[in-house]
Structure 1
């Protein structure tokens, strides 16, 4: 059984990416440890749980619980059930503090995301977490990152001063997905039009310059090291429409990228496959004669089935 760390912000983490990952790892027999800045339980982004406030009338007390857009954008029923169970988990209710963490105490690291600026910036900009992430990469321990969690990894620096993702292949929240959600929210949540943008460009910066995809790409050795779903991939539309989400029974909408002991995914719609493949890394490591694929190896999966790796 592996001991896996999931650091969280004080608030506004994505409930799907955290709860489904926790449930999968826990179900597979791994121990999951949570950590927050102050050792107090974290709180998920409430809009992603309820969907209240994601419709144009969401600011009106008498109408805000009438949800249309909110039902489409919030976490789905499976993720909400996983989040309800997560709230009762002893480790989630008694997290460690970020400043008490050491990579040597854990077998793996999972970096979830979230986009709401009020809570996520502390997590993404933490020198403490960035140093911790770098230590996991330096030790070549399994690391998984999804959505904005990849941005935390990209900002973490190795001993040579480069990003720990420099020389690796990765995916993350794509600008296409981020922009689509942002455009929707600018209409449906017009009083808070930038809800889906953690960072926004200044007037002298082009659109998308501070998107997750573009910042992560700038940290890589080559632009082609950022991977998105190939247009000829089976189920391309389901993988990229921003509506279809994977499940335990249906991995077709998901897209993940594996590079050695590093695994990445784009958004909550990938989380079931993301969590299963991360869990499988530990099962493979525990099997005699099985080692992680070298980073220079040929892709472990085809673009058609939603995975790529080295």
Structure 2
């Protein structure tokens, strides 16, 4: 069954972490509204590509321009079934918007599915919704999670309706867990390619 999902984007959101869930969730039939404060449908957010190349932290390179498909000012969180919070640079400044904090709190108070990846957990900590929850994020954010009262766990983590991952390499397991929380059923037999005739 198709569900309506809100995706919180922002300038320098991580490229893979916004593009992949946005496209994958639509691919399986969900309607995804990607929004950013002070922006409208058709506006873009520049993205950042974070990579893991053996340094003490990730490297950052310019990504694509991600096009938003919904007006932020038109968002009514009660109309959405689930929330996606990608990582990158965006969560650091998005958490300064009262409207964003209220949106995040709505999904937790209403016990709706939430998927957060990498630095997205910064928004959850700022919204004060991690008390007693088991979750993860980019490893350097373990201190943010524990200060906010959360229980840190490495790897893709599911705590009730909350699904968290550490970074874009977690996409397969993170998205699979989120689709399970959403109750999305995919008929793999229909998706399999036909065998070639000998």
Is residue 108 of structure 2 the alignment partner of residue 137 of structure 1?
yes
The residue aligned with 2:126 is 155
What are the within-5 Å matches in structure 2 for residues 127-206 of structure 1? 127-156=98-127, 163-175=128-140
Q: Do 1:4 and 1:110's aligned partners in 2 also have CA atoms closer than 8 Å?
A: yes
RMSD: 2.7
Alignment CA distance shift 1:174-1:103 (3 Å): same
Q: Which residue among 240, 253, 258 is the counterpart of 2:158?
A: 258
Unpaired stretches in structure 2, ≥5 consecutive residues: 186-198
2: CA distance between counterparts of 1:133 and 1:93?
19
Alignment CA distance shift 1:103-1:120 (3 Å): closer
Larger strand percent: 2
Q: How many residues align?
A: 177
Q: Do 2:5 and 2:31's aligned partners in 1 also have CA atoms closer than 8 Å?
A: yes
The residue aligned with 1:214 is 143
Is residue 94 of structure 2 the alignment partner of residue 123 of structure 1?
yes
How far is 1:260 from its partner? Answer: 0.5
How far is 1:93 from its partner? Answer: 4.1
How far is 1:227 from its partner? Answer: 0.7
What are the within-5 Å matches in structure 2 for residues 1-310 of structure 1? 1-9=2-10, 11-40=11-40, 41-46=43-48, 48=49, 73=59, 92-97=67-72, 99-115=73-89, 120-156=91-127, 163-175=128-140, 212-220=141-149, 225-228=151-154, 255-283=155-183
Alignment CA distance shift 1:216-1:42 (3 Å): farther
2: CA distance between counterparts of 1:35 and 1:141?
18
Which secondary structure does the structure 1 equivalent of 2:153 belong to?
coil
Unpaired stretches in structure 1, ≥5 consecutive residues: 52-68, 157-162, 176-211, 229-254, 286-310
> So what's the TM-score if we normalise by structure 1?
0.52
Cα deviations across residues 254-274 of structure 1 (Å, max 9, x unaligned)? x31000001001112112321
> So what's the TM-score if we normalise by structure 2?
0.78
